[in-house]
Structure 1
Amino acid sequence: MPGITNTTSPPEWLMQPLLLEPYLRPMPWGGNRLPHWLGLSEPGQPIGEAWLVSDHHLHTSRILNAPDTSQTLRTLMARWPKAVAGYLAPRFPLLIKIIDARENLSVQVHPDDASAQHWAPQQGGKTEAWLVLDTTAEGKIYLGLRPGITKEVLTRELALDALPLCLNTYFPRIGECYYVPAGTVHALGAGVSVLEVQQTSDATFRLYDWGRLDPQGKPRPLHIEAALAVLREHTPEAGLQTPVRLNSDCELLVNTPFFTLYRLNVAAQQTVAAPAIIVPLHSSANLTQGETNITIPAKHAALLPALAGEVQLRTAKSDEVILITWPLDRATPSE
Structure 2
Amino acid sequence: MRRRRFLAGLGASGLAASAGCLGFLETEPANREPPLPENRPDEPYYPTHYEGMEMAGTSANGRYRAMLSYTFPHRFWTVTGEETERVDFESSEDAHLMVSVWDDEAGVALPATSPRIEYTNPDGETGRVNPWQMLSQRMGVHYGDNVELGPDGDYEATVQVSPGGTRRTDDVQVPDGPLTFSFSFPFSQGRLNDLEFTDIAGDREGTPGAVDPMGMDAVSAGQTPAAESFPLEVRGTQTAAGAEFVAATADERGTLATGSDETYVAVSVRSAHSRFPLAAATLSLDAAGDTHQLVPTLDPELGYHYAAAVPGLGDGDALTVRQDAASQLARHEGYETAFFGVDPMEF
| Bigger proportion of residues as strand | 2
| Bigger proportion of residues as helix | 1
Tell me if both proteins adopt one fold, taking TM over 0.5 as the criterion: no
How high is the TM-score relative to the length of structure 2? Answer: 0.24
